[in-house]
Amino acid sequence: MGALIAAAGRPEMFSGLHWGLLGLAGALGVLVVFGMRRIRTTPAQNWVLPTAGWVLLVISVMYTVWLLLPGQWDLEQSLPLHYSDALRYITAYALIRRAQWAVAVTYFWGLTLNSQALVTPHPTMLDFSVNAGFYWVTHIAVLLAPLALLTTGWRPQWRDFAVAYGLAAAWAGLVMPANAVLGTNYAFLNRPPDGASLIDFLGPWPVYVFWLAVLVAVVWALMTWPWRGAHLTSSARGS
C-alpha cells in the first residue's frame, strides 16, 4: 500500500500538507475560543451556535449522500457506521438544540476519537479530492464545536462521562456484529486500520478493543475530573 501511495505521488502522514491542515485546525480552535468568549452571554451567541449547527448538518447530509452515490460507493467506507459519521449529526444537534446528552458526546468523542482521525488519517484523505475535502471540513468542525460549547459555560460532569461512554459502547455493540456480517471494519472494531494509528501499540484484535475501552475510560475521566472539581469549588464559594 505504501509503495502504491508513494508511486502515485500522494502526500503521506506528517507531510507538509498534513502539518498544514493540523496547523489550520489549531489556528481555527484559537479563533473559535477567542470569538465565542467575545460574544458570550450576548444575543449573538444564541444564533451563532445554531447557525453553525445547521451548516454542519447540511454538510453532513451532503457527505453521506456523496458517499452513497454509485460512483463513490464502497461497502468498506460508504455506510455511516464510523464513530465520526454518528458524531457529525450528534454535534449538529448539540449546536442547534444544546441538549445535554448531545453536548456530552460532542465533548468527549469530538476531542478524542475525532482527533485521532485528524492526527492519523488514511493517506487517501491527504489529497485534493472531494472525499478529502468533506473529511477535513467535517472533522475540523467537530473538533471546534466542543471548544465553542465550553465557552458557553457548559462543564462536563460524571453523568456526562457515563452517557458518552455508554453510547460509545452501545455503538460498538451495533457496529461489531454489522462488520462481522458485511465483512467490513467500520470504527476499526474488527481489525486494525490499514494505516498507522494508536491501535498499533495496543496488541492484536480483540485485545486492542479491550485496551481501547480502558484507555478511553481513563482519558475521559481525566477530561471530567478537573471540571467537576471546579464546579464543586464554585458551589462551595457560592454557599
- pLDDT average per 10 residues of sequence, the chain (239 residues): 44 87 97 94 91 98 97 94 97 97 98 93 88 96 97 94 98 97 95 82 92 97 84 36
What pLDDT does residue 5 have? 41
Report the C-alpha gap between 167 and 162 in whole angstroms. 8
For 65, other C-beta atoms within 10 Å of its C-beta total: 10
Task: Scan for cell 458570550, then name that residue.
Answer: 40
Look at the pTM and tell me if it is higher than 0.85: yes
What pLDDT does residue 230 have? 53
19, 27, 32, 191 from 196: Cα distances, Å: 16, 25, 30, 13
What pLDDT does residue 196 have? 73
What pLDDT does residue 229 have? 57
What pLDDT does residue 6 have? 42
Report the C-alpha gap between 177 and 122 in whole angstroms. 24
What pLDDT does residue 9 have? 56
Report the C-alpha gap between 25 and 99 in whole angstroms. 25
Locate the domains of the chain by residue range.
2-238
